C-alpha cells in the first residue's frame, strides 16, 4: 500500500527536520566553521597579538613558512615521529590485544594495567620519564651501565630526541589501541574460527590471517586514523622534556611558539592551516586507501 504525501506535507516535514537539526548546525558553525574562517582571514595578514595596526599580505605567510628552517625542521621531526608511532602503536596494540583476549581469569588485570597510561596526565608522566631517562640518576641508564655499556643521554643527544619521544608516544597510546582491538576481537563470531579449523586452518597463525585479520579491517582502519592524528598532535612531551630546543621541534610546538610566545598571530594562523591540511589529507588518504581492503 502506497501512501501519497502532498507537496505541502513534504515541505512541512523537511522544515521540521531542519528545525530539529538547527541547534546542531549552529553549534557546529560556532565551534568549527566560523573559527576556521577567522583563522583563514588571520593567515592572510601580518597581525600580531595586541597590535592596533595590521595589513593584508596575501600568501606571504605561507611562502615564509616553507622558507623557515625551524618550520621545515619541525615538519621533518613530526614526520619521523609519526613514522615510528603509527606502525608501532597499531601493531603493538594489536599484539597486546591478542594476548589479553586469550586470558581468562587475569584479563581484567591486564586490561587495566595497559590502559592506565591513557588515563594518566601526559605532562606529569613526561616528568616521570625525564627522571627514568636521566643519564646519571635514571634507572634506565643504571641498567645500561650494569650490562657494561656507557650511559646514553636520551634527552641530550639531538639524534635520539625524536625516537625517544616516539617511544613515549607509543607507550601512551598502546592501551587505547588495545581496547579498540579487544572490542573488534570480541565482535568476531567464534563460529568463523571453528569453520576455518574444519577447513584445514589448524595453525593459529593461519586462522589469524584468514579470519581474524580480515574481520578486524574496520577496527584497524579506525585505529590507524586516530593514531595518525594523535602522532601529529604531539606537544606535551616536547614542552616538558625538551622545551623545543633545537632538534626536537614539532609542528604543534612550533605553532605554539609563534602564536603564544612570539605573538605572531598571522604567521601562526598560516602554520595552523598547514597543520590542519596535512592531518586532513593524511586522514582522508588513509581512509580511502584502506577502505578498499576492509570487509564490513
Per-residue confidence (pLDDT) for residue 124, from 0 to 100:
77
Q: How far apart are CA 62 and CA 59, in angstroms?
A: 5
Q: Classify each residue of 17-32 as buried b or exposed e, where b means 16 or more C-beta atoms within 10 Å of its C-beta.
A: eeeeeeeeeeeeeeee
pLDDT per 10-residue tile (average), the chain, 296 residues: 61 82 87 88 84 83 90 91 93 89 78 80 79 84 85 82 90 90 84 71 74 83 90 86 78 87 87 90 80 62
Question: What pLDDT is attached to residue 294?
Answer: 62
- What pLDDT does 257 receive? 87
Cell of 155: 634527552
- Distance CA(27)–CA(212), nearest Å, equals 40
Give dist(CA 191, CA 188) in Å, integer.
9
Residue among 179, 163, 167 at smallest CA distance from 116:
179
Q: What is the pLDDT of residues 65-89, one digit of tens each?
A: 999 888 899 999 999 999 999 999 9
Q: What are phi and psi of 156, to 5 degrees?
A: -110, -20
CA distance 161 to 34: 37
Pick the closest to residue 71 from 277, 229, 268 (CA basis): 268
Fold classification of 66-291 (topology level): MetI-like fold (1.10.3720)
Across the strands, what pairs with 56?
Answer: 45
pTM of the predicted protein model: 0.85
pLDDT at 119: 79
The enclosing H or E element of 82 equals helix 69-101
pLDDT at 1: 43
Amino acid at each position: 500500500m502506497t501512501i501519497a504525501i502532498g507537496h505541502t506535507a513534504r515541505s512541512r516535514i523537511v522544515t521540521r527536520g531542519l528545525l530539529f537539526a538547527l541547534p546542531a548546525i549552529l553549534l557546529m558553525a560556532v565551534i568549527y566553521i566560523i573559527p576556521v574562517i577567522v583563522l583563514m582571514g588571520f593567515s592572510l595578514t601580518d597581525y600580531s597579538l595586541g597590535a592596533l595596526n595590521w595589513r593584508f599580505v596575501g600568501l606571504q605567510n605561507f611562502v615564509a613558512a616553507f622558507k623557515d628552517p625551524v618550520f621545515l625542521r619541525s615538519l621533518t621531526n613530526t614526520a619521523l615521529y609519526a613514522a615510528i608511532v603509527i606502525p608501532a602503536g597499531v601493531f603493538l596494540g594489536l599484539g597486546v590485544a591478542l594476548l589479553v583476549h586469550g586470558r581468562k581469569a587475569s584479563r581484567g588485570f591486564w586490561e587495566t594495567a595497559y590502559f592506565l597510561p591513557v588515563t594518566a596526565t601526559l605532562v606529569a608522566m613526561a616528568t616521570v620519564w625525564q627522571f627514568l631517562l636521566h643519564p646519571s640518576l635514571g634507572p634506565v641508564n643504571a641498567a645500561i651501565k650494569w650490562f657494561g655499556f656507557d650511559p646514553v643521554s636520551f634527552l641530550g643527544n639531538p639524534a635520539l630526541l625524536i625516537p625517544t619521544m616516539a617511544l613515549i608516544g607509543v607507550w601512551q597510546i598502546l592501551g587505547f589501541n588495545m581496547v579498540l582491538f579487544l572490542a573488534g576481537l570480541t565482535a568476531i563470531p567464534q563460529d568463523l574460527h571453528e569453520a576455518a579449523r574444519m577447513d584445514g586452518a589448524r595453525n593459529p597463525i593461519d586462522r589469524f590471517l584468514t579470519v581474524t585479520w580480515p574481520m578486524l579491517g574496520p577496527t584497524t582502519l579506525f585505529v590507524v586514523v586516530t593514531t595518525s592524528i594523535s602522532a601529529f598532535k604531539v606537544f606535551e612531551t616536547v614542552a616538558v622534556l625538551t622545551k623545543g630546543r633545537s632538534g626536537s621541534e614539532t609542528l604543534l610546538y612550533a605553532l605554539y611558539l609563534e602564536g603564544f610566545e612570539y605573538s605572531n598571530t598571522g604567521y601562526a594562523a598560516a602554520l595552523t592551516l598547514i597543520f590542519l591540511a596535512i592531518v586532513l589529507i593524511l586522514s582522508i588518504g588513509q581512509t580511502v586507501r584502506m577502505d578498499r581492503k576492509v570487509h564490513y
